[in-house]
Amino acid sequence: MFALINRVSHFEKYIDSSIEKFIFHHKFLGFLMIFIGMPLITLAAVCVCATIVMVSVAYLFGWL
């Protein structure tokens, strides 16, 4: 279990540093990614999860 946690921590640090390098090299694209892209991805993830839950509820109640 410790090895898995260590790998995930290392991967997280790698992703953070690569995103930081990207934002420092491309300031405008980084701005768009942070303030437009991330909220849209979050909104899409919420929409997909809500759709999956509601389709399964509709299937259980026989509405499909």
Mean pLDDT (10-residue bins), the chain, 64 residues: 90 94 94 94 98 96 88
Instruction: List C-alpha distances in Å: 41 to 21, 25, 29, 37, 46.
Output: 21, 22, 16, 6, 9
Whole-structure pTM value: 0.67
Q: What is the pLDDT of residue 63?
A: 87
